[in-house]
A and B are shown apart, each in its own frame.
Chain A
Amino acid sequence: MHFVCDFTQKAVVAVYDALLSLKVEPVSHAEGGDIPQGPISGMVGSVSFAGKITGAIYMNYNESLACKLAEKLIGEKPKSWNEPEVTDLIGEIANQVSGDMKRRTSELGYTGLLAPPLIMQGDNIAVDSKDAPIAAYNVFRIPELNEELRVRVFAKLEP
């Protein structure tokens, strides 16, 4: 497993545990040409990073999961995933996961800057690795919520 993929898994597990007190289990991963192709749907929390490591992370949620996470944090079920507290949380999770990942890569000398998180929502979101030499796809299970989370990372390291 490439260390970027490994750090992504560790970051997701750490953030869900600390922020939401949720246990998250990595169930599968794919790298390079083995990652699923084609558009994705749902809500995506994304953060780009640039520097000695350049790329982006995309965390993909369905409505049920996004709402359950918001409910877990604020103690109240949102009316829909369009509520600001839901999108805010999805953005903050992406921010914290990319920050945790960056902390780990910076210890190997791969420093960089993080952009503020972006939230996308729709049925036909194209996420393309283009020429990224590192492409990783991770699936996580969240037993307490009976949901799955899918995370893509595309990255390039400066020599």
Chain B
Amino acid sequence: MPKKILSIDDSRMVHMVVTKTLKPLDVEVLTAVNGQEGIEKAEKEKPDLILLDATMPVMDGIEALAALKANPATKDIPVVMLSADSGKDNVERATQLGALRFISKPFTGDALVAGLSQYIDLGQKAA
């Protein structure tokens, strides 16, 4: 059973790069384009991990993170921030709210896989 990763980001380019990077691994990437849609998908799909951008329209990542951690249905899903906004203030706020890690954009594929591997077993796709 592939692990489900929910990528919440307003950029389709980021979804594309994340999906391409994780393609060789035993992972299914789900996507949402803002915090509100991400929360709804997280409740419905129960992903194994959430990759969360900070700066998004409708509902930003910090607000979404607070809502995810306050919701009994989603509070135990590990959240890794993947954001360009990696100023000290933002990283501290995300960490206080329960994000496990902050990966800065731009990111390399290796950094993304290494960062996620700490929290879930990504495996390899069966040949």
Contacts and interface: CB of A to CB of B under 8 A. Distances in A.
Interface size range of chain A in the complex: 20 to 34
Contacts of B72: none
Given A18-B106, A95-B55, A116-B55, A88 B12 contact: yes
B108 A73 contact: no
B23 interface: no
B83 interface: yes
Interface in B88-120: 88-89, 104-108
B13 A114 contact: no
B28 interface: no
B84 A99 contact: yes
Interface of B is mostly: loop
A125 interface: no
Interface stretch (A35-43, A105-113, A141-149, A151-159): A105-113
Interface residues of B, number: 23
A91 B16 contact: no
A116 B105 contact: no
Nearest to A115: B55
B7 to A, nearest CB: 13
Contact of A74 (B10, B11, B16, B88): B16
Contacts of A115: 55
A19 interface: yes
Contact of A19 (B57, B86, B106): B106
Given A85-B13, A116-B56, A96 B87 contact: no
